[in-house]
């Protein structure tokens, strides 16, 4: 049912002039959806000749069960989750998310050069990391790609860039330990809200490190702890083991062997 709905909506969106490709993201795009999962459809476009937001709004209004979707323009949700539509179709929450192909190209270039950036973004408590755009291209299920726009870019995501791996491990392994140190200091003052934030950030950093070490593209904080890279063993039962060992490592030493002290790393 979910797959059928995704293809039906994708076909309607793909018919809009200016839509270069459509892909199914999230858990549904990787075959991991359950009854509570929504559908995330990435709508790719060339910024020099984008689709009409007004036409997409008309389509979303037609398809939405209430005929009252929330539709915004390009960039209205920020530079990375840069707009889209929230709808409910046949009882299922369906999000249409705009994706700029020029930005995808810049990110792919950056990843090959070992560059990644992090940005404040509602819905992403650890921030939106630019290399996630490469992960979307790599993992999402392509539903419409008549000119091979996504196929060509997906080919650039394999193998996982060694330079990006080094950058992520260096940056986030250091930050994981630094966050634990900050949590300890705040805990002594009884500031539990700050402690909680630091510990979440430390764990999120360790997830980044583990994914990079195993050459796996990171997509989202949601579910990442319960979904370690395949080489770490079966999904069920693995998280406690790697979580405990990773947290212990973060409390002790940096990758260089030096204690977690000082700034800069």
Q: CB neighbours of 136 closer than 8 A, spacing ≥ 6?
A: 23, 25, 42, 99, 219
CATH class given for the domain over 2-157: alpha beta
Cα–Cα dist 243/250, whole Å? 11
Q: Please return the burial class of 194, using the count of CB atoms within 10 Å of its CB with bins 0-12, 13-18 and 19+.
A: middle
Is the pLDDT at 253 greater than 50, yes or no? Answer: no
Letter string b/e over residues 224-247, b meaning 16 or more CB atoms within 10 A of that residue's CB: bbebbbeebeeeeebbeebbeebe
Is residue 227 within 8 A of residue 195, CB to CB? The reply is no
DSSP code string of 120-133: --TT-TT-EETTHH
Q: Are strands 118-119 and 70-71 parallel, antiparallel or unpaired?
A: unpaired
What is the mean predicted confidence (pLDDT) over 24-47?
A: 86
Is the pLDDT at 155 greater than 90, yes or no? Answer: yes
pLDDT digits (tens, 9 = 90+) for 40-52: 999 999 999 999 9
Out of 25-29, 90-94, 108-112, 214-218, least confident range = 25-29
Closest CA to 165 of 118, 232, 214: 214
Is residue 89 within 8 A of residue 38, CB to CB? The reply is no
Is residue 35 classed as helix, strand or coil in its secondary structure?
coil
Cα–Cα dist 152/234, whole Å? 32
Is the pLDDT at 255 greater than 70, yes or no? Answer: no
pTM of the model: 0.84
Give residue limits of the domains in the chain: 2-157, 162-252
Letter string b/e over residues 36-51, b meaning 16 or more CB atoms within 10 A of that residue's CB: eebbbbbbbbeeeebb
Cα–Cα dist 86/158, whole Å? 32
Is residue 114 within 8 A of residue 166, CB to CB? The reply is yes
Is the pLDDT at 182 greater than 90, yes or no? Answer: yes
Cα–Cα dist 29/128, whole Å? 19
C-alpha distances in angstroms, 82 versus 77, 78, 106, 257? 5, 5, 15, 40
pLDDT of the residue at 238: 40
| Structural element, H or E, at residue 26 | helix 26-29
Q: What are phi and psi of 54, to 5 degrees?
A: -65, -40
pLDDT digits (tens, 9 = 90+) for 57-103: 999 999 999 999 999 999 999 999 999 999 999 999 999 999 999 99
């Amino acid at each position: 049912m979910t797959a059928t709905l995704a293809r039906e909506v994708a076909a309607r969106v793909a018919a809009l002039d200016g839509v270069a490709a459509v892909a199914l993201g999230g858990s549904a795009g990787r075959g991991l959806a359950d009854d509570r999962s929504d559908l995330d459809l990435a709508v790719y476009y060339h910024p020099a000749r984008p689709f009409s937001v007004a036409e997409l709004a008309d389509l979303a209004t037609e398809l939405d069960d209430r005929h009252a979707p929330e539709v915004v323009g390009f960039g209205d949700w920020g530079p990375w989750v840069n707009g889209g539509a929230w709808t409910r179709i046949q009882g299922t929450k369906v999000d249409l998310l705009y994706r700029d192909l020029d930005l995808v190209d810049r990110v792919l270039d950056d990843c090959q050069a070992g560059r990644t950036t992090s940005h404040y973004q509602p819905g992403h408590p650890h921030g939106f990391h630019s290399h996630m755009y490469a992960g979307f291209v790599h993992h999402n299920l392509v539903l419409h790609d008549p000119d091979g726009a996504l196929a060509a870019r997906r080919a650039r995501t394999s193998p996982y860039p060694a330079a990006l791996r080094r950058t992520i491990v260096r940056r986030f392994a250091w930050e994981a330990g630094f966050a634990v140190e900050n949590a300890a200091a705040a805990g002594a003052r009884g500031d539990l809200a700050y402690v909680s934030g630091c510990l979440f950030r430390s764990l999120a950093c360790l997830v980044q490190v583990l994914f990079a070490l195993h050459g796996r593209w990171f997509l989202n904080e949601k579910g990442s702890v319960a979904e370690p890279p395949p080489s770490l063993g079966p999904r069920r039962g693995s998280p406690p083991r790697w979580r405990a060992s990773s947290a212990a490592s973060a409390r002790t030493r940096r990758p260089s062997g030096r204690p977690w002290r000082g700034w800069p790393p």
